Amino acid sequence: MYWIDKIKQLFGFEAPVAINYSRYHTNLFEDPTILECLKRNGYCVVPFLQPTEVKALHDDFLHILKMSEGQRTDFFWVSAFSPNMDLRQFSKNSLETRFKDFLPRIFNEQAEFMGGTFLVKPPTKEGKNDPHQDSAHVDEAKDYSVYCWVPLIDINDTNGPMYAINGSHLWGNRYRSTVVPWLYKNILDELLNYGTPAYMKAGEMLIFDSALVHFTPPNTTNEPRPAINYFVKPKSSPLLYYFTDKETPEGIVEEFALSKEFYDTYDWFSRPPDALKIRNLPNTAVTLDKNSLRKIYKKFQFR
């Protein structure tokens, strides 16, 4: 069977698959070609900030680094999770006043701007980011949401470019958060073979589907690499949180409803209040091995 599949693939005899794109029913973008690009590839790079705007945010990033003195910073870290509340507040203010106002250049009135963080990629080998998918905060059976990654310096091979796995937003792992064990963690090394690097200019935006598998290799320069990540969802999509802990039954993911206030202040590791619980879901997405990864990658290539 394996050889029949292999020969079919080699000669391109695979029957075309009908992809269900129904969750992309809401266009969040001023330029609708971005939605087409996002649907097919899972990500899209667009121009976003002017050089003076990049400079102002870069100055804030340097201030955040100063504020983090004394904190452990050899691993990749994000300002939104810093134990230093002053630092968190400074970062939030900066994004509210210097970043959020520019988002309507890209997004239309159907989009809700949820919040973001500065990302600090230190010049250490611990600063790498293994392949992962970001948290799902909408019901991805019905809707999609995006993260907006904006580097504040030009990106090249030495400072940790973002690698995106084309088509991986269609693989079907829908229940994700920092506390739900990641379904593809057994194939981290294999996933590294499927990424495409995005060599971006400072201030460009990589808009990616929350379900996209992505990673960044270590920053081998002498300086921390600054970037911002910002979460945007359709206004019409309820805000959700997927959760597991010791109390969660085996094979289940718990779904909770979140308010915007909860999203802004929650520590993301504690069990949310019972009153917010929606339902238990069987975590049925396909786990992948080397062979099934090769197949699923091929199945969702449209370039």
Ligand X SMILES: O=C(O)CCC(=O)C(=O)O
Residues within the interface to ligand X (CB under 6 A): 119, 121, 129, 134, 160, 214, 216, 227, 229
What's the CA angle centered on 210, arms 282 and 278, to 5 degrees? 40
Minimum CB–partner distance for residue 28 and ligand X (Å): 19
Closest to ligand X by CB, 14 or 74: 74
Minimum CB–partner distance for residue 11 and ligand X (Å): 36
Each residue of 268-283: b (16+ CB within 10 Å) or e? eeeebeeeeeeeebeb
Closest to ligand X by CB, 114 or 252: 114
Give 261's contacts (C-beta < 8 A, 6+ positions apart): none
State how far the Cα of 20 lies from the Cα of 16, in Å rounded to an integer: 13
State how far the Cα of 210 lies from the Cα of 180, in Å rounded to an integer: 15
Residue indicated by tokens 């920053």: 219
192: tokens are 């590294």
Closest to ligand X by CB, 228 or 273: 228
Minimum CB–partner distance for residue 100 and ligand X (Å): 17
Minimum CB–partner distance for residue 92 and ligand X (Å): 16
Closest to ligand X by CB, 219 or 237: 219
Closest to ligand X by CB, 118 or 300: 118
Whether 287 and 158 have beta carbons less than 8 Å apart is answered as no
Minimum CB–partner distance for residue 18 and ligand X (Å): 30
Closest to ligand X by CB, 134 or 255: 134
Residue with nearest beta carbon to ligand X: 216
Minimum CB–partner distance for residue 13 and ligand X (Å): 36
State how far the Cα of 205 lies from the Cα of 228, in Å rounded to an integer: 9
Residue 264: how many CB atoms within 10 A of its CB? 12
221: tokens are 């320069």
